[in-house]
Amino acid sequence: RPEAVVVEGPGGRDELPADAVFLLTGYHPDADLFRRAGIRVDEETLKPDHDPSTLESNVPGLYLAGSVVSGRETSRIFIENGRFHGEMIVKAIVHSMREC
């Protein structure tokens, strides 16, 4: 358990008292990457076009998982609800293979 966190910045080095430390790196969706892949993007929300039941994008065979499906609303997807995305995608792929 930490007693303090050392922070270095332009103003020098500071030691801040702390009972706990959380590493949160942040995330910003890369809408340009989606567009280059052919995925349609809502310009206001930056949400990629996808089927929420399968997580398949508008590009057949290209699936999306994690907070990326929320666009600018990155706080909607966490480990608690995003951890099922892989399972959803695998089920969708298996289902599509059975239809072939």
pLDDT of residue 8: 87
7 inside domain: no
Tell me which residue range forms the domain holding 45: 27-99
Three-state SS string over the chain comes to CCCEEEEEECCEEEEEECCCCCCCCCCCCCHHHHHHCCCCECCCCCCECECCCCCEECCCCCECCHHHHHCCCHHHCCHHHHCCHHHHHHHHHHHHHHHC
Does residue 39 lie in a domain region?
A: yes
Query: Per the domain annotation, does 13 fall within a domain?
Result: no
**Within-domain flag for 14:** no
Confidence at residue 5, expressed as pLDDT on a 0 to 100 scale: 83
- As for how many domains the chain has, the answer is 1
Residue 78 within any structural domain of the chain = yes
4 belongs to a structural domain: no
For tokens 């332009």, what's the residue? 10
**Does residue 15 lie in a domain region?**
no
Instruction: List the chain pLDDT tens, one digit each, 100 residues.
Output: 568 888 888 889 998 888 777 765 666 778 998 999 999 999 999 999 999 999 999 999 999 998 889 998 877 887 777 889 999 999 999 999 898 7
Question: In this structure, is residue 61 part of a structural domain?
Answer: yes
| Nearest to 89, CA basis, from 52, 50, 49, 54 | 54
pTM above 0.75, yes or no: no
